[in-house]
Structure 1
């Protein structure tokens, strides 16, 4: 395949939506999703500005990916007491602790959406990937970025891109895995029967105590935007985890998706009387529901067992629509595993422009895996080693 050219677009909105979605078909996190994220970030002081890299041939766009620029702190994976140590070092040596990164992927997605036109065979995909890597490298050199990284490559994308990126000198870093729940069940009873007896009993007990909870599914959240933003922020603060700018949503994110995605976005609202106690943002595809964000009012949410209530509401939502996969993201692993989920690995690939520093970072990368510092995953690793 010849005549490929790479291009940096100043925003995803500059890329034709039909071309983008043809390279990434059937995704709820589609061109409209990313464009809505861009709009929310552009009108606020919060949020990371997104760009796009494309590869084209004589017939049009053949490969796409979102990317963003980030001042990345090396202590970002650290949590708990170790974060305090990272803060102390940062205050004394901010220049040493912070790197300018050009990152393929998005802070608003748990997967690196690298897409290729269906007409490309494997060899042509490799060529398109090479042009994309070269285009990003040239942009990083122009901007004097320290690192080019590929954030959260799923197993299929990493199988395709990983060997090529390895030859190009990219090192590997473990990212947070994705929790997914397989739902090959005819009904709710079948799902509950797949769980342990103690978990099944616990879920039923919590549901029995949730008789005051009213659940509403809707796509339009007009009039509730501020409440939903506040519930999300409340839950983020309660989590005890801090990944810096990678987990901060711009104001207007939820309302923007409500307006942009049509039937692909559903908000599950949990009411206690007239009070909105929690919400779930669901992105709906033909064969998958992405449980994107949960926001909860504390302590009301705990008093009414809203985590378990929302989990079962999402399971029922999928079963009623014959959807076989519920994806629930990169947090609260202990509860999700207990409720039957499995973990799908996710990988970061990165390359520093300075070869000696890349050598040092490659040596350090096994010790800086995000999974090492997540409390649930670290506890699981300790139990496995015992």
Structure 2
């Protein structure tokens, strides 16, 4: 299956193809006639709530029983392996909105996810195209919800010391101390498709380290499959780079990045948690990725959606997205329209962080 798309795409097509071929557990993935990837699943409404709010709701007596009512049949336009919803130049914005409304009767929710808002990672044309889609969908009755904070770093520094000099004195001191752990590890950067990834046992080990990260996460939504990892790790034409961190013969952790369109896109991480904590791997890998992007003369390091507060302290910038939600039942539409602020946690965090600086 091969989807030809070219707007908002920060990742190689092979990654999208792998998602369509081997979707996450519980996802039913298809393509529409408008060249949009989409998937359906039972979506828990609490998934993207502010964590304190979600935990309060989950602590209510009987949640294990009545909480199932919050799992709604949902169609998501887009994928979970791309930073943005990838669009095609070939469709008319107004027509696609109307077609989505007509097909929305099949599910309780229809969500056009992760549309960029003036993203510095995209062209003016791409940003305007997405804004036109947002405007058309809002006029058609879609609920507009602020999306997540995508972390990125412009590669405009001379070297690591120059980058660190832009951070506060206390953070510089703390990070330099943590970076000393790199002296005790061996770094190996291996292209996907290399001989190393033909070993099934090694690929299984990498998948188990990915599962360790997934299971400790606050959000459980798209559990990628072992077949998906097999597919991307063995693809030699994708521009994939796997950063492996070893302590002697023990793998401490890794992350899978893609060098694409003059950017380094950080996609997946796996950790041996005890060792990763001991050797400060999260912080080390940040600077190793920045060093690599600089050495390759890339434009941006794109660091993903998770842990925005930590990435802010590491010097990241942020760009936001918009989700557009069609809600079939009028009563539910009325309720969610008034509660949508509860689903905009990254925006709340960012606003508070900017206010604290002023």
Cα-Cα RMSD? 2.7
Aligned partners of 2:37 and 2:227: how far apart in 1? 20
Give the alignment partner of residue 109 of structure 2, picking from 140, 147, 150. Answer: 147
Give the alignment partner of residue 83 of structure 1, picking from 52, 55, 64. Answer: 55
Q: Does 1:33 align with 2:4?
A: no
The residue aligned with 2:188 is 216
Q: Report how far residue 80 of structure 1 moved.
A: 5.2
Residue deviations 1:115-160 (CA, integer Å, cap 9, x gap) = 314xxxxxxx6xx12222233333332xx31121111111125422
Aligned partners of 2:354 and 2:289: how far apart in 1? 31
The residue aligned with 1:67 is 38
Aligned partners of 1:171 and 1:347: how far apart in 2? 10
The residue aligned with 2:122 is none
Q: Does 1:310 align with 2:270?
A: no
- Equivalent pairs counted in the alignment come to 340
Give the alignment partner of residue 230 of structure 1, picking from 203, 208, 211. Answer: 208
- Describe the shift of the 1:255–1:73 C-alpha distance in structure 2 as closer, same or farther (beyond 3 A): same
Which 4+ runs in 1 deviate beyond 4 A? 87-90, 378-383
Q: Report how far residue 69 of structure 1 moved.
A: 0.5
Aligned partners of 1:229 and 1:85: how far apart in 2? 32
Structure 2 spans left out of the alignment, 5+ residues: 118-126
**Mean alpha-carbon deviation: is it higher for 266-275 or for 256-265?**
256-265
Aligned partners of 1:216 and 1:326: how far apart in 2? 19
Aligned partners of 1:204 and 1:274: how far apart in 2? 25
TM-score between both structures, scaled by the size of structure 1: 0.80
Structure 1 spans left out of the alignment, 5+ residues: 1-12, 56-63, 118-124
Aligned partners of 1:185 and 1:268: how far apart in 2? 22
Give the alignment partner of residue 51 of structure 1, picking from 10, 30, 43. Answer: 30
Q: Report how far residue 107 of structure 1 moved.
A: 2.3
Q: Report how far residue 200 of structure 1 moved.
A: 2.2
- Describe the shift of the 1:26–1:235 C-alpha distance in structure 2 as closer, same or farther (beyond 3 A): closer
- Describe the shift of the 1:67–1:211 C-alpha distance in structure 2 as closer, same or farther (beyond 3 A): same
The residue aligned with 1:334 is 309
Name which structure has the greater RCO, CA cutoff 8 Å, separation 6+: 2
Residue deviations 1:190-231 (CA, integer Å, cap 9, x gap) = 222222222222222222233221111112323221111111
Q: How does 1:273-352 map to 2 (within 5 A)?
A: 273-352=248-327
Q: Report how far residue 105 of structure 1 moved.
A: 1.3
The residue aligned with 2:337 is 362
Residue deviations 1:255-311 (CA, integer Å, cap 9, x gap) = 211233624211100011001110011011132111112211121011111112111
Q: Does 1:138 align with 2:102?
A: yes
Instruction: Find the residue that maps to 2:32 and give its secondary structure.
Output: strand
Give the alignment partner of residue 144 of structure 2, picking from 162, 168, 172. Answer: 172
Aligned partners of 1:216 and 1:366: how far apart in 2? 43
Q: Report how far residue 100 of structure 1 moved.
A: 1.1
The residue aligned with 1:268 is 243
Q: Report how far residue 250 of structure 1 moved.
A: 1.5
8 Å CA contact retained: 1:301, 1:307: yes
- Describe the shift of the 1:90–1:175 C-alpha distance in structure 2 as closer, same or farther (beyond 3 A): farther
Residue deviations 1:311-344 (CA, integer Å, cap 9, x gap) = 1110011001111211111112222111110111
The residue aligned with 2:121 is none
Instruction: Find the residue that maps to 2:145 and give its secondary structure.
Output: strand
8 Å CA contact retained: 1:187, 1:319: yes
Q: Does 1:105 align with 2:68?
A: no
- Describe the shift of the 1:341–1:328 C-alpha distance in structure 2 as closer, same or farther (beyond 3 A): same
- Describe the shift of the 1:231–1:149 C-alpha distance in structure 2 as closer, same or farther (beyond 3 A): same
Aligned partners of 1:201 and 1:385: how far apart in 2? 21
